[in-house]
């Protein structure tokens, strides 16, 4: 197995109520990533992406635009070495 990169992301802007979570799940699965996405109480969206470094980099770049209707103002990316990603890619409840 190759190198795995895991990151946590916080996406801010108009990202709830615009199908951001479903879009993220579809894009992450298409890239073979593991992890999750969920809404946060402060109106942002949180995600975790784990997989090949190239796929993770592509996903974090995509998050800066998001689905139609989203207006992303900030994406905070943090490298994670302290947690293991779950199997698959799921939408979690906030």
**Which residues are tagged catalytic?**
21, 39
Burial of residue 60, with CB atoms counted within 10 A of its CB: 0-12 exposed, 13-18 middle, 19 or more buried: middle
Query: DSSP assignment of 25-76, as one string?
Result: HHHHHHTT-EEEEEE-TTS-EEEEEEE-HHHHHHHHHHHTT-STT-EEEEEE
């Amino acid at each position: 197995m190759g190198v795995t990169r895991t990151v946590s992301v916080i996406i801010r802007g108009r990202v709830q109520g615009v199908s951001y979570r479903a879009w993220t799940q579809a894009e992450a699965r298409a890239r073979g990533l593991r992890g999750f996405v969920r809404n946060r109480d402060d109106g942002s969206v949180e995600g975790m992406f784990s997989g090949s470094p190239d796929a993770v980099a592509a996903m974090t770049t995509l998050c800066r635009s998001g689905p139609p209707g989203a207006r992303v103002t900030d994406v905070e990316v943090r490298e994670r070495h302290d947690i293991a990603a779950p199997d698959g890619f799921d939408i979690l409840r906030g």
